[in-house]
Amino acid sequence: MSIDNKRAIELGETALGIEFGSTRIKASLINRDHEPIASGDFTWENRFENGVWTYHTDEIHAGLQTCYKNLVEDIKKQYGVTPTTYGAIGISAMMHGYLPFDANWNQLTEFRTWRNTITGEAAEELTKLFNFNIPQRWSIAHLYQAVLNKEAHLPKLAHFTTLAGYIHHCLTGVNALGIGEASGMFPIDSTKMNYDETMMDRFDEQVAAKGYGFKIREVLPKVLLAGDEAGTLTEEGAKFLDPTGTLQAGIPFAPAEGDAGTGMVATNSVRVRTGNVSAGTSDFAMIVVEKQLGVHRELDMVTTPSGLPVAMVHCNNCTSDINAWVDLLAEFAGLIGSDVSKGELYPKLFNLAMTGDKNCGGLLSFNYFSGEGVTDLDEGRPLFLRTPDAKFTLANFMRTHIMSAMATLKIGLDILTKEEQVPIDAIYGHGGFFKTPEVGQKILSAAVDAPISVMETAGEGGPYGMALLAAYRIWKQDGEALEDYLESKVFASAKSVTVSADASEVEGFREFLEEYKKALAVERAAVASVGGK
């Protein structure tokens, strides 16, 4: 037991980050040395109901409370104390999506998550209107699609926000977002650190012409930068988070951020020419850029939590299909009497994959549980295929699924690095895809033909990144930039492992991707002919 950490908890000399991920809500508590000292979590899954990927509001509330309860239990188990306060708290969540409310904050529709690909018409029209890429998952695309669909809730619309923004409002009463999260709602002007004025004017003209009276400036959350004051925990918020009544009100909050921003912070990749790849249920690459880029459907322009422009390649699908196959193989193992756990099975299969053919020996897979914007698919059908003479081994089978998880990301990154000539000095990986040492790194390195580093704290992920933003909110020096704070106070002595693919692995991924792109026609045919409406 650490007496110092116990004392820090008692005095509130800590920072707490809570992140709503796709499959887990997780809390990470850190001390003044920025070390994780306690955690809590709650496992959940999205639902596909009435053609919409969603989470129920009661699940959101119960999940938050259970996650926090589990954090408190971990603190009590480790240190023998029950926390009553923290130095600061921050909320983050999966970006984008649509949560609309009336003037009294009554929810008007189901929560529409980032995973939906039901806003194609809106995204296309807005991209042309703004001359700026608007992906389907962005909040403004969901709002404009509701306008095009003439949805009944729009006359009552007073606010719309993201999941992080909603929880932040529940706890503080403040309707605001960190700029990184806000940049996934509506385009940001990084010279003014706010929503783009010209684009807001164009949007209002477009909506007014269709007979709707709301103004976009009035319904969007306020934009805040990392380190800004973002409200404090209210009495109602304290009871909402901790129904036992132990938690005290008045705790400062950091601006709410998205999982993309917290991933950048957790990997110290918020400086220009650095980047990170987060790979779990979905995967995305975030590269901090030095210049304005052209309009590409495959690239989103968002920002760091301090407002620097970031090129983002976001893919809806990453590890879900791998997980499904491992579940099947675990079921087979049980059938033959093996007691191997999935925790043991994953590293065995991942390491075996590295013995397979560099180009997967003629095997192909598409991991599309849902639609995929980068490859222009509104729906997905998980698909595995091979030629009759392919080398159908377990090693090749697993390597295929692991490489498939990076294939769509590679397509987007090629546009960034080859067409736009964006230089990248360092790429950091984090997320479940990198859990087995070096395997995920080696495959990603083969895809991007660059070294990939994973920090020792990479497993902490987004919740840790949000805790660091909460720490920055209260412990930064006047005028200290976020990138300087992270460099000097958090990651100065951080340990990391860097892995590079060799030339044969890079060439193998290139060959695999060429076949993958040719076979996209098969995936499109599967969407059109299998399980359709």
pLDDT tens digit sequence for 291-313: 778 899 888 899 999 999 999 89
Going by C-alpha positions, the residue among 315, 313, 289, 284 that lies closest to residue 299 is: 313
- Greatest CA separation found in the chain? 67
What local confidence, expressed as pLDDT, does residue 430 receive? 81
Give residues with Cβ within 8 angstroms of 235, minimum separation 6: 249
Q: Quick check: 533 pLDDT over 60?
A: no
Classify strands 176-178 and 222-224 as parallel, antiparallel or unpaired: parallel
Q: If pLDDT is split at 50, 70 and 90, which confidence band does 109 have?
A: very high
How confident is the model over 433-451, as pLDDT tens digits? 888 989 999 999 999 888 9
- Please give the model's pTM, rounded to 2 decimal places: 0.83
Rg (CA), the chain: 23
Question: How many helical (H) and strand (E) elements, i.e. helices and strands, does the chain have?
Answer: 18, 22
pLDDT at residue 531 tops 90:
no
Q: For 468-473, what is the mean pLDDT? A: 98
Mean pLDDT value of segment 412-438: 88
Give the pLDDT score at 455: 84
Instruction: Decide if pLDDT at 244 tops 60.
Output: yes
Choosing among 3.40.50.300, 3.30.420.40, 3.30.1700.10, 3.10.150.10, the CATH entry for 268-317+412-498 is 3.30.420.40
Mean pLDDT in residue range 372-384: 92
Q: Do 3-259 and 268-317+412-498 show the same overall fold?
A: yes
In tens, the pLDDT along 474-514 reads: 999 999 999 999 999 999 888 889 999 999 999 999 999 99
Among residues 123, 127, 163, 128, the alpha carbon closest in space to that of 143 is found at 123
> Token pair of 261, please?
């921003």
The DSSP H or E segment spanning 20 is: strand 15-20
Quick: pLDDT tens for 326-363: 999 999 999 999 989 988 999 999 999 999 999 999 99
The hierarchical CATH code for the domain 3-259 is 3.30.420.40
Residue 349 token pair: 């299969």
Has residue 235 got a pLDDT over 50? yes
Nearest to 501 by CA among 452, 460, 445, 454: 445
Choice among 146-160, 270-284, 379-393 with the minimum mean pLDDT: 270-284
**Section 372-377 average pLDDT:** 89
Every domain of the chain and the residues it spans: 3-259, 268-317+412-498, 320-400+502-529
Residue 459: its pLDDT value, please? Answer: 64
Please state, rounded to an integer, the average pLDDT across all residues of the chain: 94
Chain segment 35-64, per-residue pLDDT in tens:
999 999 999 999 999 999 999 999 999 999
Within 8 A by CB and 6+ apart from 403, the residues are 360, 443, 446, 447, 509, 512
What pLDDT was estimated at residue 1?
A: 47
Looking at residue 211, what is its pLDDT?
86
Report the amino acid identity of residue 298: E
- Cα–Cα distance for residue pair 90/73, rounded to 1 Å: 20
pLDDT (mean) for 366-379: 91
Q: Name which residue leads in pLDDT, 117 or 510.
A: 510
What's the rounded Cα separation, in Å, for the pair 301 and 288? Answer: 10
